């Protein structure tokens, strides 16, 4: 009963905090660039876009950012998955992917999850054993991702495809690594651990994991923390076991190299894997359940405005990992 009450309160808070972000994103869309280039019958230009996709009887959407430098050459595509009870707008506005896109010349998409609400403001990703409505409704989120990729490929010339995510978006990114390793070159995600029973990727795939020693939602060593609000039957492994699983799947040498370290964090790299993929673990020692390196945490569940760990920039570390693949 207590967990249901907590979830209801968090949902109300998230609804109230997400509305202005959606309005802000819509305002940017309304100011469309007047100099739009047409290629192969498609209208496409550097700007913000919101696309709706029909999935059976549902209309779902994703946001897309095309960098100012896009010139119709092959480019990388990153799909960035928001956390539980967040939205695509929150992911787009707060995690540094849009300025990174402009600097590094990749296209980035922000899919929006399954929701029981018509507004699509509250919902979750179906990451096997978690979470909430997406699992209850058996939401075909993997199918949704395939439709998004096909839609973007019809508009732009895409080379390699990557996935990243936060919290529940972490879990879903790992599901994609397990089920779509023929599509994704690498995934890199923040703040959760394995919760699935089996994973047999068709191909080796590079995986990066970022976690906090003090994470109060998903404990570093095992299980849900004091602020974890998912169902009790959802079991989570430790960070060490999560990494070990991917090292074994990719047949890597179990002898990591410390490639980064400062007083508040470190990164270990597992290499010499099949097909030259890599597994990387980055740990921030000085914060909780948030995205390292951003100016403030946009977590709508507690309306947190404090500054997360600055041990390293998760966005920078993830892109550095992707661009070598």
DSSP string covering 200-269: --SS--EEEEEEETT-SSB-SSSSB-TT--S-TT-----HHHHHHHHHHHTT--S--EEEEEETTEEEEE
| Spatial contact of 141 and 135, defined as CB atoms under 8 Å apart | no
Establish if 36 belongs to a structural domain.
Answer: no
Instruction: Look at residue 39 and tell me if it is in a domain.
Output: no
In a domain, 16, yes or no: yes
Q: What does each of the 325 residues of the chain score in pLDDT, given as a tens digit?
A: 434 444 443 443 333 333 323 333 333 333 333 233 334 435 456 668 899 998 877 788 999 999 988 877 889 999 999 877 678 898 898 889 999 999 999 999 999 976 665 655 667 788 777 766 767 778 899 999 999 999 999 999 999 999 999 888 888 999 999 999 999 999 998 877 777 778 999 999 999 999 877 666 666 666 565 556 655 445 677 889 999 999 999 999 999 999 999 988 899 999 999 999 999 999 987 766 668 667 665 554 443 445 666 777 899 999 999 999 9
Number of domains in the chain: 1
Closest CA to 183 of 238, 226, 231, 146: 146
In a domain, 41, yes or no: no
In a domain? residue 37 = no
Closest by alpha carbon to 98, among 67, 76, 69? 67
**Does any domain span residue 94?**
yes
Burial class of residue 40, CB neighbours in 10 A (0-12, 13-18, 19+): exposed
Q: How many CB atoms lie within 10 A of CB 245?
A: 18
Q: Which two tokens stand for residue 152?
A: 């973007």
What pTM was computed for the model? Answer: 0.82
Three-point CA angle 103, 266, 189, nearest 5°: 55
For 226, the domain range is 2-31+46-323
Q: What is the CATH number of the domain that holds 6?
A: 3.40.50.1820
Question: Is 40 a member of any domain?
Answer: no
């Amino acid at each position: 009963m207590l967990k249901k009450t907590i979830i209801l309160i968090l949902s109300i808070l998230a609804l109230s905090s997400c509305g202005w972000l959606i309005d802000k994103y819509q305002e940017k869309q309304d100011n469309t660039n007047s100099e739009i280039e047409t290629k192969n019958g498609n209208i496409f230009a550097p700007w913000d876009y919101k696309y709706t996709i029909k999935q059976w009887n549902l209309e779902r959407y994703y946001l897309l950012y095309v960098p100012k430098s896009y010139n119709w050459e092959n480019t990388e595509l990153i799909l960035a998955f928001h956390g539980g009870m967040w939205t695509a707008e929150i992911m787009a506005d707060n995690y540094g992917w849009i300025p990174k896109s402009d600097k590094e010349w990749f296209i980035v998409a922000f899919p929006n999850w399954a929701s029981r609400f018509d507004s699509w403001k509250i919902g979750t990703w179906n990451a096997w054993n978690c979470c909430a409505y997406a699992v209850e409704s058996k939401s075909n989120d993997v199918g949704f991702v395939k439709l998004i990729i096909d839609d973007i490929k019809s508009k732009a010339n895409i080379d390699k495809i990557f996935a990243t995510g936060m919290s529940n978006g972490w879990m879903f990114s790992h599901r994609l690594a397990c089920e779509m390793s023929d599509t994704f070159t690498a995934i890199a995600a923040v703040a959760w651990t394995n919760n699935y029973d089996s994973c047999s990727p068709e191909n080796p795939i590079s995986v990066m994991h970022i976690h906090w020693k003090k994470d109060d939602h998903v404990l570093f060593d095992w299980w849900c923390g004091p602020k974890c609000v998912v169902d009790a039957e959802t079991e989570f492994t430790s960070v060490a076991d999560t990494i070990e699983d991917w090292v074994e799947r990719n047949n890597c040498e179990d002898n990591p190299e410390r490639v980064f370290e400062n007083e508040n964090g470190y990164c270990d790299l597992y290499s010499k894997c099949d097909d030259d993929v890599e597994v990387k673990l980055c740990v921030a020692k000085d914060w909780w359940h948030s995205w390292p390196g951003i100016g403030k945490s946009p977590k709508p569940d507690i309306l947190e405005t404090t500054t997360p760990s600055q041990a390293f920039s998760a966005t920078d570390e993830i892109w550095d990992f992707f661009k070598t693949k």
